[in-house]
């Protein structure tokens, strides 16, 4: 990508590494964000399939798993400026079919499901306290969209000093160009980039060291 040498010269893109207590965060893989007729498109369906593999592996090692859903008030009053930019978000009512987590990644008992009204998984949710209670130090992030709610969640994860890992093939966007550009920028500033398979191998090794 143009400008790579500038980032290297200025010493961006270093690794945050992997800690000892990983968790998985799945951002907004809801029916409506997978359907191209609603908010989907691009490579989101493929990202869901790849996340299913990662999710199965994280469950196998007993890692904490959290989901977010973008869900808005029935009276269409809680979306703030986010919904001014994208008024269609108000279609995501609590009971609407498009608001539900895709069946391919259906949550299990004991896994956290959070509703949110902003881009970040951390904004006005108890995610930080839930992660802290379980001594999580490394957060693997997947979801949709890479340029939107995934990126916002990554920035906040970094701000809270979690070792943040973005599973590149487990994130999707409705257009490939913003997906690729945001992954590049995230990798330079906020998180380590790995495939889902690579992240799972690191998570397995970390959990194995704790046993």
- Mean pLDDT across 32-52: 97
* Nearest one of 36, 42, 63 to 165, comparing CA atoms: 63
Using the predicted structure, report yes or no on whether residue 202 has a pLDDT greater than 90. yes
- Mean pLDDT across 115-131: 96
pLDDT of residue 1: 54
pLDDT of residue 81: 86
pLDDT in tens, 151-175: 999 999 999 999 999 999 999 999 9
- Mean pLDDT across 92-118: 96
Residue 67 falls inside a structural domain: yes
Using the predicted structure, report yes or no on whether residue 138 has a pLDDT greater than 80. yes
- Whole-angstrom distance, CA of residue 156 vs CA of residue 141: 12
pLDDT of residue 193: 98
Residue 105 falls inside a structural domain: yes
DSSP state for residue 91 in the 8-state scheme: G
Using the predicted structure, report yes or no on whether residue 96 has a pLDDT greater than 80. yes
Tokens of 44: 């989101």
pLDDT in tens, 63-76: 999 999 999 987 76
Residue 148 falls inside a structural domain: yes
Using the predicted structure, report yes or no on whether residue 24 has a pLDDT greater than 90. yes
Tokens of 208: 């194995």
Residue 1 falls inside a structural domain: no
pLDDT of residue 211: 62
**Residue 52: which CATH number?**
3.40.50.850
Extract the runs of DSSP E, i.e. beta strands, from 28-73. 65-70
Considering the entire predicted model, what is its pTM?
0.95
Residue numbers annotated as active site: 149
Counting the structural domains of the chain, the total is: 1
Residue 112 falls inside a structural domain: yes
- Mean pLDDT across 93-117: 97
Tokens of 191: 């998180």
Residue 2 falls inside a structural domain: no
Residue 10 falls inside a structural domain: no
Share of the chain above pLDDT 90, in %: 87
- Whole-angstrom distance, CA of residue 196 vs CA of residue 202: 10
pLDDT in tens, 125-134: 999 999 999 9
pLDDT band at 26 (very low <50, low <70, confident <90, very high): very high
Answer whether 114's CB lies under 8 Å from 125's CB.
yes
Residue 97, domain extent: 20-210
Residue 174 falls inside a structural domain: yes
């Amino acid at each position: 990508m143009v400008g790579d040498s500038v980032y290297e010269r200025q010493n961006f893109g270093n690794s945050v590494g992997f800690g000892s207590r990983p968790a998985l965060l799945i951002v907004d893989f809801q029916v409506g964000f997978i359907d191209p007729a609603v908010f989907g498109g691009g490579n989101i369906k493929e990202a869901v399939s790849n996340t299913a593999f990662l999710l199965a592996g994280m469950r196998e090692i007993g890692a904490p798993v959290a989901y977010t859903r973008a869900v808005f008030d029935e009276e269409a009053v809680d979306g703030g400026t986010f919904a001014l930019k994208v008024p269609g978000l108000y279609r995501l009512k609590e009971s609407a079919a498009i608001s539900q987590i895709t069946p391919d990644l259906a949550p299990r008992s004991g896994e956290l499901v959070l509703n949110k009204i902003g881009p970040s998984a951390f904004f006005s949710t108890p995610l930080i306290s839930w992660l802290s209670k379980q001594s999580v130090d490394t957060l693997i992030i997947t979801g949709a969209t890479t340029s939107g709610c995934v990126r916002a969640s990554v920035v906040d994860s970094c701000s809270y000093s979690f070792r943040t890992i973005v599973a590149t093939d487990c994130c999707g966007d409705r257009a490939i160009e913003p997906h690729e550009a945001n992954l590049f920028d995230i990798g330079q500033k906020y998180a380590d980039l790995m495939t889902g398979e690579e992240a799972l191998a690191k998570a397995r090794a970390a959990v194995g060291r704790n046993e």
